[in-house]
């Protein structure tokens, strides 16, 4: 089964928790065991599994990426000013795959799934959720 969820971002860079949306797709699929792939469409967004208990982790992720990949120093900035966004998205990656165990995402207690926005705000980001049955 495949479905698409849409997310609206409100800042240039932010982590948006999409775990509930992914769980909803899994529940509708009826698949009990297998794999779930979460993939964002777009060259300036990414998917990350990270802690959601404390927002400081999300802030730390954004701050680390600012230090590693500063804004305004890349060749692509001459085109549209978002060279850093492309590099951050490429570093983090467009997808994550999570085991599906007895109808539940195989995440630990502290793990959630985030859409990483690196070039917002955007009216719509599309995330493709693919549920693959196991044996």
- Does residue 121 have a cis bond before it (omega within 30 degrees)? yes
Q: CA-CA distances (angstroms) from residue 29 to 43, 115, 133? A: 28, 21, 9
* pLDDT given for residue 75 in this prediction: 87
More confident residue, 54 or 16: 16
What is the β-pairing status of strands 95-101 and 34-41? Answer: antiparallel
> Distance between CA 19 and CA 111 in Å, rounded?
9
* pLDDT given for residue 55 in this prediction: 86
Predicted TM-score (pTM) of this structure: 0.95
Q: What is the mean pLDDT of residues 119-124?
A: 98
- Is residue 15 within 8 Å of 85, Cβ to Cβ? no
What mean pLDDT is reported for the chain? 96
Question: What's the pLDDT tens digit per position in 59-106?
Answer: 999 999 999 999 999 989 888 999 999 999 999 999 999 999 999 999
Tell me which CATH homologous superfamily contains domain 2-133. YjbQ-like (2.60.120.460)
């Amino acid at each position: 089964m495949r479905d698409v969820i849409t997310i609206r971002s409100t800042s240039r860079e932010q982590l948006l928790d999409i775990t509930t949306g992914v769980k909803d797709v899994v529940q509708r699929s009826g698949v009990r065991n297998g794999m779930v792939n979460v993939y964002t469409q777009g060259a300036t967004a990414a998917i990350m599994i990270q802690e959601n208990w404390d927002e400081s982790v999300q802030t730390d992720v954004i701050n680390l990426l600012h230090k590693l990949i500063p804004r305004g120093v890349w060749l692509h900035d001459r085109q549209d000013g978002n060279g850093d966004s492309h590099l951050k998205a490429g570093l983090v990656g467009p997808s994550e795959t999570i085991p599906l165990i007895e109808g539940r995402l195989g995440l630990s207690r502290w793990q959630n799934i985030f859409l990483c926005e690196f070039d917002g705000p955007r009216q719509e980001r599309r995330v493709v959720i693919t549920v693959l049955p196991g044996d």
